[in-house]
Amino acid sequence: MLQSSTYLFVNFFAVIICFIASFDKRIQFNKHFGTFLISATLVAIPFIAWDIWFTKLGVWWFNTDYTTGVIVAGLPIEEWMFFFFIPFACVFTYFCFDKFFDLRWARAFNNVIVFVTTIICVVAALHYYDKIYTFLTALITLATILTLHFILKKEWIGQASFVFMILMVGFFQVNGVLTGTGLESPIVNYNPNHFVGVRMLTIPIEDAVYGYTQFMLVISCFTYFKDRKKTLAFPKIYFPKSKSKA
C-alpha cells in the first residue's frame, strides 16, 4: 500500500509546507491561487503533451509499482499532479523571495545567463541531435530564454535563475526519489539511447534544464497575470456620508 503511494507522497510533501504557508498573513500567497492555476495550466498543456509523446516513444516510462495505478492518457495520475504541485512550490518560493528580499542585483547577470545558456544549448543541440531528450530540451530552453530576453524584455531572468539555484536543493530530493534515490528501482526510467547519460547522482542532467525551462515559463505567466490583475483592479469608491439633520 505504501509503496504504491510513493509518487503520491513525493508530490504531497513537495507542496504541503508551501501550501500551508500561503495563508500566512505576511505572505498571503493564497490571494494568487487563481493566477497561479491559470499560469500552471498554460505551461502544463505543452509539457504534458511532451510527456505523453515521450512516454509513447519509450524515451522514458514509469514504474507502476510506485503509483496508485490510475492512468490518464498513458501517464500516471501522479505525473499529472506533478505539473501543478511542483510549480506551486517553485512559484511560492519565488513569490516569497521577491516579496521579502531585494533581488534586483541579480539583473546584472541577465546578459551573462542568456549568453551562457545560448552557447550551451546550441552546442548540445548540434552535438546530440540524435538524442531526442537532449536535443529537444536544448531547443526549447534556447527558445524560452531568447524569447524572455529579446522579445518580452523580462528583467527578472537573473532573479528567477538565482531562486532556481536555491530550489535545486528541493529538486535533488524530489527528482532524486523519482529517479531511484532510496528506492529499489526508479519511478521514472530513461532509455539510454535518448539522453547523454550524464547524471547528477541519479538525475539525468536534462531533467535540471527541463525543470529550469518549465520554471521560467510559469514565472513568466504568473508575473504577467499578477501584474495584469493589478492593472485591471477597480479603485474603491467612497461615498461621503450624509449629514444627519439636526
Answer yes or no: is pLDDT of 71 > 60: yes
- 22: phi then psi, degrees, rounded to nearest 5: -60, -25
Report the chain's C-alpha Rg in angstroms: 21
Average pLDDT, the chain: 94
Q: Residue ranges of the domains in the chain?
A: 3-224
Answer yes or no: is pLDDT of 2 > 90: no
Answer yes or no: is pLDDT of 245 > 60: no
Q: Which three cell numbers stand for residue 214?
A: 518549465
Which amino acid, 148? L
Answer yes or no: is pLDDT of 150 > 60: yes
Rounded to an integer, the average pLDDT of 158-170 is 98
pLDDT > 90: what percent of the chain?
91
pLDDT in tens, 174-212: 999 999 999 999 999 999 999 999 999 999 999 999 999
- Burial class of 226 by CB neighbour count within 10 A (0 to 12, 13 to 18, 19+): middle
CA distance 33 to 102: 23
pLDDT at residue 246, as a whole number = 45
Express the helix, strand and coil content of the chain in percent, nearest 5 each. Answer: 70, 5, 25
**Cβ-based neighbours of 54, under 8 Å, separated by 6 or more:** 60, 132, 133
Rounded to an integer, the average pLDDT of 71-94 is 98
- pLDDT band per the 50, 70, 90 thresholds, residue 42: very high
- For the ranges 144-148, 149-153, 236-240, the lowest mean pLDDT is seen at 236-240
CA angle 189, 168, 40 (to 5 degrees): 75
**Cβ-based neighbours of 131, under 8 Å, separated by 6 or more:** 193, 194, 195, 196
Which amino acid, 47? F
- For the ranges 138-142, 213-217, 229-233, the lowest mean pLDDT is seen at 229-233
